Chains A and B, each alone.
Chain A
Amino acid sequence: MTDAPTTDRWIRYLNLLQLALAGIIILAPTVWMVLSSLKPSFEVTAYPPTLVFTPTLENYVQLMKTTPFASYAVNSLIVTIGSTSLGLLFGIPAAFAVSWTRVSWPAILTLAARMAPGTLFLLPWYVMFRQVGMIGSYTALILSHAVITLPIVIWVLLPSFDGIPRSVYEAAQVDGCSVTRILWRIALPLVGSGIAVAAILAFVFSWNYFLFALVLSNGDSKTLIAAAFNFIGEGSTQWGALMAAATLIALPPLILAALVQRWLVSGLTLGAVKG
């Protein structure tokens, strides 16, 4: 009893240490990136790094002037929103069906596809899409990114659907609901927060994925992240502009990730059945 407060204090210290470590690993590169993007170009690669400097937007101006950044951003948005929607459209019913029937191999198959290296798909796709003349089209990019989004949607939603008490489905059946009706009227409203999380995660992963776009897009349909990759090594690398691009690219996923955590608190199924 008497040493309980001391133990508590140690746990608190360890917590702080953990947070500090996580902070350094995750935040340090981010801070460095953002700061660099605000430095005058000659200071970006200075060693040792300068900590005191006059912030400037010159890198951002430079970026907008020398690259079609905005149109890449539009490409990224189209591909990401398209593939996220596609993932939700097929992933929601798929996850529900897997949870309902308890036949899980389709879900495992999509997971395997997600875990396989992207290069596995890349070559066959390149050949297939070229044969039908779709290289560089949004359709090709959206379809390929669905390989990213579909498994995310299915695997985020599966536990949500599984969390709905079986007897709630059964009550709906007895009340006269067909299976499709149960999906729409009972299951979907109960996994609302799961869908929000799935959509945001799918968006972020699709937005960040660059391998498919690197190969399957052309100059006009390049996504931001694939384009930024090309900035490196185009003649003398413009580190400052690159940092500005990286900062802008990272912004939407970071904002969305911050939103996800608010949705993660669910507790919606509470009160359905006896305690």
Chain B
Amino acid sequence: MASISIRNLVKRYGNFAVIPDLNLEIADHEFVVFVGPSGCGKSTLLRIIAGLEPITAGELYIGDKRVNGIPAAQRDIAMVFQDYALYPHMRVYENMSFALELRGTPKAEIDARVKRAAALLHIEPYLDRKPKELSGGQRQRVAMGRAIVRNPKAFLFDEPLSNLDAKLRGQVRAEIKALSQELKTTMVFVTHDQIEAMTMADRIVVLQSGAVQQYDTPEAVYERPANQFVAGFIGSPAMNFFPVEWRGEAVVFSQDGARVPLGLESCGPLRQAGKGVLGIRPEHFAVAADPADGMAVMIKLVEPLGSDTLIHFDLAGASAIARVDPSLRPKVGDRVSLRPQPGKTHLFDSTDGRVLQ
């Protein structure tokens, strides 16, 4: 149980700075999720915290101890590797008990903890198998089990649920969340899955090219993205973006000069900047009752999801998506009139993508 503090961290491979300069404070007991595109440095950051990767410059504290030169074996961190890294010669049980055995935990307690983790992850039937006799998803759960039997200062998970089917993933997700609340151990979790990030995190770190784009609660990251990158990365389907301008006391699409039906309260920043990028999430379109109030679009593609329906259309020269009520029964070729929900739009600087306010 400990906080993790990263100060002015630099990590270079040769001349390539994977992490140019990173600061991050993870509080004790906090559940932090790292998200970001492939290759942005999530695994590298985890490996640095674990002590598997040397730091080029900067400082790393676990608890109030500076651990820069401390080897992984002495950091008391549990980690789930992206590629599992199970011990091939050990049975599942031994894979999970190994770390406890090294610490001299009594046999009875080891057994209880292994059994408990196995039950949590639904791998009891495989305890006597070797890793090569397991499927990918089963191996991944063993890798997870090997971490959660321990009682470390912090847990590091590198996409630990990526190989599970949807149902199992949902179950394990809920169980990890419950476990984290019970164990009260600091957790750092890497995922590509939006739902995982939103549901599990106390705070989300959005990374791009080794730099923190935003570090905030899931709600804040979703509702108040700090820049266009975060806005486009968080949320699924992704936010729609349209270049817009302030022209004749109104907001218009740069592409065709058509007026955007926006309340004036959302336009303030644009009035100063002159132009920008308008962001509207698919779920923040409303179907206008009066066609004159909205923007007329023609539906190109319909994706019924059950709970709602996604419609694809072209707007101001860009391809866009809206999430609508299935009772609307949209069909390809239909014309609908859409308008952004008031107060739910975002404006970004058209050059550097930072949010305009």
Contacts and interface: CB of A to CB of B under 8 A. Distances in A.
Interface string B72-94: 11111111011111111100000
B94 to A, nearest CB: 10
Contact of A177 (B73, B83, B163): B73
15 contacts: A167-B83, A170-B85, A171-B86, A171-B146, A173-B52, A175-B98, A176-B76, A178-B73, A186-B89, A190-B88, A271-B88, A271-B131, A272-B84, A272-B132, A274-B163
Contacts of A186: 87, 89
B88 A168 contact: yes
A268 B52 contact: no
B56 to A, nearest CB: 19
Given A173-B71, A174-B77, A268-B88, 20 more contacts: A165-B83, A171-B85, A171-B86, A171-B87, A173-B51, A173-B52, A174-B79, A176-B99, A176-B103, A177-B73, A177-B102, A190-B88, A270-B88, A271-B86, A271-B130, A271-B134, A274-B84, A274-B136, A274-B139, A275-B136
Given A181-B102, A271-B131, A271-B139, A172 B87 contact: yes
A177 B51 CA distance: 13
Contact of B79 (A168, A171, A269): A171
A189 interface: yes
A64 B71 CA distance: 62
Contact of A272 (B47, B51, B79, B86): B86
Interface string A15-47: 000000000000000000000000000000000
Contacts of B72: 170, 173-174
A4 interface: no
B81 A170 contact: yes
A274 B159 CA distance: 13
Nearest to B163: A274
Contacts of A271: 86, 88, 130-134, 139
Interface string A141-182: 000000000000000000000000101101111111110010
Given A167-B81, A170-B52, A170-B72, A272 B136 contact: no
B263 to A, nearest CB: 50
Provide the main secondary structure of the chain B interface. mixed
B133 A171 contact: no
Given A174-B77, A178-B73, A273 B50 contact: no
A94 to B, nearest CB: 22
Interface of A: 165, 167-168, 170-178, 181, 185-186, 189-190, 268-275
Interface residues of B, number: 35
Nearest to B147: A174
Contact of A173 (B73, B88, B98, B134): B73
Residue among B71, B86, B133 with the most chain A CB within 10 A?
A: B86
B103 A273 contact: no
A16 to B, nearest CB: 36
A172 B146 CA distance: 11
B265 to A, nearest CB: 50
Contacts of A176: 73-74, 76, 99, 102-103
Contact of A168 (B76, B77, B78, B85): B85
A192 to B, nearest CB: 8
A178 B130 CA distance: 24
B88 A269 contact: yes
A273 B84 contact: yes
Nearest to B89: A189
A270 B86 CA distance: 10
A270 to B, nearest CB: 4
Contacts of B79: 171, 174
Interface in B130-144: 130-134, 136, 139
Nearest to B79: A174
A269 B90 CA distance: 11
B88 A174 contact: no
Contacts of A185: 98
A168 B86 CA distance: 6
B71 A171 contact: no
A170 B89 CA distance: 16
A183 B97 CA distance: 18
A9 to B, nearest CB: 37
B180 to A, nearest CB: 19
A168 B143 CA distance: 11
Contacts of B71: 173
A167 B84 CA distance: 8
A248 B59 CA distance: 68
A181 B74 CA distance: 14
